[in-house]
């Protein structure tokens, strides 16, 4: 995939629609809809709906997302501030994404409400590509993956002196000199989406797993065995399903984990998210 140079821009975000109007439409649609809904074929495996018959394995309970646990994985919960002090420092917040890390790769997970009769991945993929091209001045390309249509995107990332100073030495040494001289480097993201029964699951993959098959296989297995818990409450389409922090995160605080790593880092850091479905 050939990506040209673009100017660095702020990360794009979706504009909110009328919550009252969406809630009314969502409630009406769910009341009138039949039992048919788009979902991953059972023959192809997951991701799974909580009402499905899915393989039993150890999973972290993030509320709406049940995420498999395996050796070598790290987990981070991204928090969106809901309350700040007079100086703008976060005092409280809500979980908005789960970040799964493996070696030099990361996969951000979010689940959203969706209409009962139709999926939203086609529209989300088109809107995401438009935002990346127009607002972030990046480039996108459609491709086919193991879960169906995907979106590959390149977004320019600034390489300022401050950014370089905060990088670990081993990573900084791997950056080509031409990128440092021009002050930016390409960041490549892989957007994966699955339409389920009244939910939509999105993954944003960053790092080596975008091209490295071995690292991607680990993250693919995680994604394929996720269980989505939609709940019965009517919700506007594209509203983020509620997340929570697993009890294991607190229990592992200060303890050495041999089988899996439970990491929180800066809880108010958004991770590799490019765009948020709203």
Top pLDDT among 248 and 88 is at: 248
pLDDT greater at residue 104 or residue 31 = 104
SS3 call for 209: helix
Quickly tell me which residue has 């040494």 as its tokens.
173
Question: Comparing 96-100, 102-106, 164-168, 230-234, which segment has the lowest mean pLDDT?
Answer: 164-168
Query: Where in the chain are the domains?
Result: 19-129+190-262
**What confidence category does residue 255 fall into, taking pLDDT thresholds of 50, 70 and 90?**
low
b (16+ CB within 10 A) / e for 216-237:
bebbbebbbbbbbbbeeebbbb
What span, in angstroms and rounded, lies between the C-alpha atoms of 249 and 243? 14
Compute the average pLDDT of residues 117-135: 94
Give the pLDDT score at 253.
57
The per-residue pLDDT for 41 is 41
Q: How many CB atoms sit inside 10 A of residue 160's CB?
A: 11
pLDDT confidence band for 115 (50 / 70 / 90) = very high
The Cα angle at residue 47 between residues 44 and 50, in degrees rounded to 5: 120
Q: What's the pTM value of the predicted model, to 2 decimals?
A: 0.75
Model confidence band, residue 241 (pLDDT cutoffs 50, 70, 90): very high
The pLDDT of residue 212 = 94
């Amino acid at each position: 995939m050939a990506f040209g140079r673009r100017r660095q821009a702020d990360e794009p975000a979706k504009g909110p629609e009328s919550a009252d109007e969406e809630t009314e439409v969502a409630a009406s649609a769910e009341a009138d809809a039949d039992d048919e809904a788009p979902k991953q074929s059972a023959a192809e495996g997951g991701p799974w709906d909580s009402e499905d018959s899915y393989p039993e394995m150890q999973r972290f309970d993030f509320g709406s997302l049940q995420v498999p646990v395996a050796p070598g994985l790290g987990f981070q919960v991204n928090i969106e501030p809901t309350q700040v002090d007079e100086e703008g420092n976060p005092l409280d917040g809500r979980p908005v994404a789960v970040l799964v890390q493996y070696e030099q790769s990361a996969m951000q997970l979010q689940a959203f409400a969706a209409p009962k009769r139709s999926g939203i991945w086609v529209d989300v993929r088109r809107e995401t590509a438009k935002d990346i091209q127009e607002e972030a001045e990046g480039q996108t390309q459609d491709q086919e993956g193991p879960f169906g249509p995907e979106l590959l995107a390149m977004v320019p990332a600034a390489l300022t002196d401050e950014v370089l100073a905060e990088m670990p030495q081993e990573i900084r040494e791997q950056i080509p000199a031409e990128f440092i001289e021009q002050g930016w480097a390409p960041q490549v993201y892989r957007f994966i989406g699955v339409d389920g029964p009244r939910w939509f699951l999105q993954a944003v993959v960053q790092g080596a797993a975008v091209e490295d098959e071995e690292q991607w296989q680990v993250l693919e297995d995680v994604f394929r065995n996720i269980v989505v818990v939609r709940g019965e409450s009517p919700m506007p389409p594209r509203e983020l399903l509620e997340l929570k922090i697993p009890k294991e995160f607190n229990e592992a605080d200060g303890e050495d984990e041999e089988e899996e790593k439970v990491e929180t880092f800066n809880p108010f850091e958004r991770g590799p998210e490019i765009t948020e479905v709203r």
